[in-house]
């Protein structure tokens, strides 16, 4: 049995330091500008691609780290740099995870490289699940996919919302209803290739935080995709739907995961790591400010009211990181989330980011409320962690259902 350790190995330390250097030297100097512009920071993404950070190879290496810590470590460092720019760099990963979770080996090999492009021609991808009337309530999804057997094509119609890179992406991964009678069990995921007729960008959202990341509606009007764009293939889908129908007739039975949930479960610890990075960044600003800012002839950290806040902030950050690392290690080593450990990590880290960034503003006082200091941006950015990829309320619901075995509503 491998000896238990929380020490990163030398390779991991080198990657961490490399990412930290990119975050410090490239991302942070550009953060305020792209937050104000509310545009995708293509030059920063291209620089990340040139260095090998924005690439399939890099994320594959981190994904297959046998300790499970590669991805959360990378997410923490990039989001320590800036959450908005970081989400523009890693947003393609959610679409890639959607393909990894549901696709065949051929589909994985075909589509994921196209999601990234290369350093000379950078591309992004989008994962499209949420809808105007179906966010956390995935069973209310209305986007339909109908199979045209004569042409071996799927026809998609509907509107997706809150899609990172929606409309500007080359490859879109779209979750749609194939059997409305089965509720969330009647969903499937589809690849919509670049330049497919009928797909367009709807409203682009002007957001409270993570403003350097593009978020928009995706409109699908008679979008036709080849049969091979159904992730997992039609035979596998037909088998899954048949099992779901049999269980429905029998009055329940084994839980069947839908396409969107499979993607979210795989990504929750990574989102927790993003939140840890933002919280850590705000804490470090507050700590530096408290040790250098003087009032009444002494540094403000000399007051217990400030010092105790910083102690609590650091404690929560370290606890959040440990929950994220545990969930990531469990996922990599094949240990089931019997207590919803993935949701626990995302819940606690998300709430920690909101709390720590708010405390950082308080410690900086009036300065923290201005854009001259980065903590107000960090606080705006932190708000998203308790909302996207499952709200804090949904995480608590998942945890409570898992612990109790009851269909808590």
Using CB atoms within 10 Å of the CB of residue 172, give its burial: 0 to 12 exposed, 13 to 18 middle, 19+ buried. Answer: buried
- The residue length of the chain stands at 409
Q: Which residues of 77-107 are buried (b: 16+ CB within 10 A; e: fewer)?
A: bbbbbbbbbbbbbbbbbbbbbbbbbbbeeeb
Which of 58, 52, 50, 72 lies closest to 330 in space, CA to CA?
A: 72
Active-site choice (221, 239, 389, 393): 389
- For residues 381 and 374, the answer to whether their CB atoms sit within 8 Å is no
**Would strands 171-177 and 125-128 be described as parallel, antiparallel, or unpaired?**
parallel
Task: Give the separation between CA 152 and CA 228, rounded to whole angstroms.
Answer: 8
- DSSP per-residue string spanning 120-168: TEE--EEEE--BTTBSS-GGG---EEEEETTTTEEEEEEEEEEEETTTT
**C-alpha to C-alpha distances, 83 to 120, 281, 378, nearest whole angstrom:** 24, 10, 8
145 - beta bridge partners?
156
> Strand 187-192 relative to strand 171-177: parallel, antiparallel, unpaired?
antiparallel
389 is catalytic: yes
Residues 6+ apart with CB under 8 A from 49: 55, 116, 117, 118, 119, 122
> At 376, which helix (H) or strand (E)?
helix 375-382
Which residue do the tokens 């240990």 mark?
Answer: 335
CA atoms of 372 and 326, how far apart (whole Å) = 37
Provide the 3-class DSSP secondary structure of residue 275. Answer: helix
- With CA atoms as reference, report the closest residue to 376 among 273, 278, 305: 278
Q: Which residues does the annotation mark as catalytic?
A: 389
């Amino acid at each position: 049995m491998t000896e238990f350790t929380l020490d990163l190995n030398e390779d991991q330390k080198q990657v961490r330091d490399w990412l930290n250097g990119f975050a410090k030297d490239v991302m942070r100097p550009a953060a305020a500008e792209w937050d104000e512009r509310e545009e995708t920071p293509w030059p920063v993404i291209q620089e990340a691609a040139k260095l090998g950070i924005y690439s399939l190879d890099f994320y594959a290496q981190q994904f297959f780290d046998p300790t499970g810590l590669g991805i959360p470590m990378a997410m923490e460092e990039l989001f320590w740099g800036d959450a908005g720019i970081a989400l523009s760099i890693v947003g393609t990963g959610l679409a890639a995870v959607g393909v990894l979770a549901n696709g065949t080996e051929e589909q994985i090999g075909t589509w994921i490289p196209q999601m990234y492009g290369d350093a000379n021609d950078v591309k992004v991808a989008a994962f499209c699940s949420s809808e105007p009337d179906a966010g956390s309530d995935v069973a209310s999804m209305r986007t339909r996919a109908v199979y045209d057997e004569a042409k071996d094509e799927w026809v998609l119609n509907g509107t997706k919302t809150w899609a990172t890179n929606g409309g500007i992406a080359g490859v879109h991964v779209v979750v749609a209803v194939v059997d409305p009678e089965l509720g969330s069990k009647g969903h499937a995921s589809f690849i919509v290739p670049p330049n497919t007729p009928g797909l367009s960008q709807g409203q682009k959202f002007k957001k409270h935080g993570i403003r350097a990341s593009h978020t928009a509606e995706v409109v699908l009007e008679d979008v036709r995709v080849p049969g091979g764009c159904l992730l997992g293939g039609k035979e596998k889908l037909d088998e899954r739907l048949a099992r779901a129908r049999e269980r429905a007739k029998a009055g329940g039975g084994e839980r069947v995961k839908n396409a969107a949930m499979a993607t979210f479960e795989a990504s929750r610890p990574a989102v927790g790591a993003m939140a840890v990075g933002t919280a850590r960044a705000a804490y470090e600003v507050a700590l530096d400010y408290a040790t250098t800012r003087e009032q009444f002839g002494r540094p403000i950290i000399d007051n217990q009211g400030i010092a105790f806040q910083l102690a609590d902030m650091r404690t929560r950050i370290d606890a959040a990181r440990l929950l994220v690392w545990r969930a990531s290690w469990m996922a990599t080593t094949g240990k089931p989330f019997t207590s919803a450990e993935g949701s626990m990590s995302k819940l606690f880290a998300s709430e920690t980011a909101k709390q720590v960034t708010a405390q950082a503003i308080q410690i900086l006082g009036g300065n923290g409320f201005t854009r001259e200091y980065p903590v107000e941006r960090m606080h705006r950015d932190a708000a998203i962690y308790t909302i996207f990829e499952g709200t804090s309320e949904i995480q608590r619901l998942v945890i409570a259902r898992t612990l109790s075995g009851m269909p808590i509503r």
